[in-house]
Structure 1
Amino acid sequence: MTKGWGRPFEEPIEVGGRALATLLDAGEYIAALPKKEHSAPVWQAAMQALILVAEGGGPTLFARIGIMRALNRHYVPKLNPKGEEPHWSRRKLKRDQ
């Protein structure tokens, strides 16, 4: 497996009209963040994943996951937005009728 900062992601990460295509692009993006955001634990973890993949080898997917987690850190999915039970819990079997 090849090593280095020039390794491309399997699929580029789109951030604000910019595509992060390689590990180096992602590293430069993180380095350019404001100091307060850059020092957040989630971005530090993403940078650590980038360094491990770039210098130690391994799948670029690990670094991609770190970046995507940091980018989507404020997204909270709604659980059961309508307040209804899933349809499969209301279904009764023929033998139970």
Structure 2
Amino acid sequence: LEETLARFQSSHDENDLHIAVCGAGFTSIEYIGELLHRLPDFVKRFNLPAEKIKIYCIEAAPKVLPMFDPKLVDYAVNYLKNQGVEFYTETPII
């Protein structure tokens, strides 16, 4: 991921700034949270345009974090959406 983000400086391809996380289980959501935490460092280190970085969470099932209480899920999803993460449920990757 870091190599792809760093490549943006030479490629100027905005696709290098688009990150797709496949799945919306615990590990994927935890990864997105860590990624959001580290983004300011990546922006600074690789001189990236923060406003062009996109994070997508793609899930084949109809729900995010189906193993958790719906109130906790709503809290987590709303927090991540407010940070700019886009969710696509019922979207299998073919």
Question: Normalising TM by the smaller chain, what interval?
Answer: under 0.3
Query: Higher relative contact order by CA 8 Å / sep ≥ 6: 1 or 2?
Result: 2
Larger helix percent: 2
Q: TM-score, normalised by structure 1?
A: 0.26
